[in-house]
Structure 1
Amino acid sequence: MTKITYDNKVGVKPKTVRKNQVWDDDMNEIKAVVNQNDDNALYQGVNTLKKSTKIQVTPDFAVNINDGKATSLIVGDELIQINGNIRIIPDGLIPMPGNALVYTNADGTIGQAAMTGGMSAYQESFLATDAQTKITLSRNIESAILILSVAGVSLSPSVDYTVLNNEISFSTPLEVGENVLVTYFLNSGTGSGGSGGADTNITYNVDTRQISSSTGTGFVFPLSNKDNAGLMPNGFYEEYTFFGSLLDVGGGATYTIGGSNEGRAIRIGKKVSFTMILTGINTVGTPSSQLQIEGFPETSVINEVPDQAGIDVTIFSGSNINFYSLSGNMSNVFPGGGSKRRVGLVGQTSFDNSISLISGVTFTNGVIGLSGFYFIP
């Protein structure tokens, strides 16, 4: 919580004062007008404000300018001068229907704003401060906040403001010993201090990652990389469900998948991890070339990242191929690779060091299971 400091003497011995009598902080009478209706109204003055009350402003403050003492009354003229407007807002009260706030226009004329029941927080009166401002509160409003709204002024810690030319009174007389709480709140229109203030329109450009504001100030969010914890690029994290298919590159046969055809993949950054299972595989026709598997997400060959994959064959059954070992290899350089990368199966079919892409593969109720990862541009 940011604080206001103000030069205001407290603890002065109480005196009884009458209308048209205003006292300084030493309880010496000064000439001013207390706008009351009853010439015989009595006031108990303890903590009257000085003619010039200085408040020290730092962001986000709210302070009771008369200390909230049980015997504190505002009976004199308090002097306010500030660049901007003053707003009067009832502080958590529920005024009875028919009450009103009286405010001063810029030309010095007096206006009145009706307050209906239930308007407990934000019945506002705007007051000009280029001349002496008279603030007249409804008799039934026992607590109010004065918001000093400084439009277009950037508030930094340790900025001094002097309260000048502002008279606070009540529409009907105060009773002897009645307590009045008045709180000040400074509101910067630039958003650098206080809260609220002038509206600022914010726009965000998805393509450039730039945030712009109506104040003319903006910035660009950087993308995340190893040196910078900026924004994740579009598609940084994705989840996929996909379906695989089998291809005889030579075109002599087709393959049907009569059972499960399930593929799941997760992309994080440029790496895609996947798992898939194909069951109930059968062959129609006579295969004449290599067996390839396709259907994987994000495998366009545009700006291809070649041979950066690790693919395990978790199950391979129901085929005419005998092998000692079998693994997967993703590329688009296989015969018939086309516009997408595919997985070819590399097998060791004899008991030597030779390996090759398997071809001429037929299935009868076959099963293929794959898992692994690959990289994308």
Structure 2
Amino acid sequence: MMGNEKLEKQLLWLMIIVLTAFFTSASVSVWASRNVAESEHEQAMGHARLEALNSLMLAFTEAETGQRGYLLTGNPAYLQPYYAAVSTANAQFMRFRDVFTGPDGLSAYNRLALLKEKKLSELAQTISLRAEHGLESAMLVVNSNTGESYMAEIREEIDLLARKEQERQVGLVKESTRNVAIFQTSVTLFLLLLALAVLSLVTLVRHDTQTKKQLLQRLSHEASHDQLTNLPNRNLYVEMLNYSIPFAQRYQRLLGIFFIDLDGFKQVNDQFGHDAGDMLLKEASRRMREAARESDVVARIGGDEFLVLATNLAKVEDIEAIARHMLACFEEPLLRHLQQVRVGASIGIAVYPRDGLRAAELIKAADIAMYEAKMQGKNGYAFHRRDEMKGGGAQRLASDQERPGA
């Protein structure tokens, strides 16, 4: 039981450790998964920001191209792409405000908004001068390089933002790769620990089931066996006898029921104590078990009384042979350290079906025969005398060698 309790504690601690690691790895998996999702979202937003910057720069360039074409040719056809580019620039600027968030994004938006207004105003001014006063008036503004300066600042601001975004994207890719690796590792560990947790639980349940099964088997064994000698007790003997009777009836075989009482056992208990008595009972049980056939049942029913069931017998002589074997068990001293102690046995025998058809009836007949054997001088055997039979009546072996203390 101590071993079982120790194993149960070990399994319980293993279960706690595994579950702790299991939930830890699960938390890491959730954290890594969330980081991967956030990183992917940030990468998508980064691509949107880069696209907005490129579109915005392209719109300014196309607007300037349309303005230059109109200034040089005076052809209104160039104004169509100009106005389209200005509209695109305004739309992309609104998109820029949506994708560049946070303090840095707001600051960049404000700087570009100011430059956009200046550049578009310069473009609109030159176009108006060309239309109203001719090329010379418009070129005066162009040659002042004010518009070129605005365009350079816009290009520089957009390039700076694009480089920062690209560097940020490189960092996000590295972080995403690391998070994916963490996620994959944690998921693998999660599944492994889940398997260990299930295995630990199954082992614990199986151990608990096995322990209960062993306990039930032990209780069942204790309920049907004598604790001192480990021989079947009276209940199991009666069960085996009831089981054997139908077979003997069907195949017309005899059963021998032996009621054995040890002669001189009380004196051993009184003189040498209960420990010596217990040792004597164990040795007597061992010898009778060895003397009996493998198919026979040897049971202790209490004190110094035993029952033996011999099955599948053809004739009474077979029963007598078994009785003689049982008596031979007691020819040598049962306790080596007490050679002077001699214990014999009185055996009463009942035969199925002659002496009864039921277990209780047969055991009672054997009990009566045992007292008859004692009356004949002990250390012998006697058949129950219901009918005359060969070998019937009280039988006594070695009556001239009655042992001291019997």
TM over 0.5: no
Q: Which of structures 1 and 2 has the larger relative contact order (alpha carbons within 8 angstroms, sep 6+)? A: 2
TM-score normalised by the chain length of structure 2: 0.21
More strand by share: 1
Q: Which has the larger radius of gyration?
A: 2
Between structures 1 and 2, the one with greater helix share: 2
Calculate the TM-score normalised by the size of structure 1: 0.22
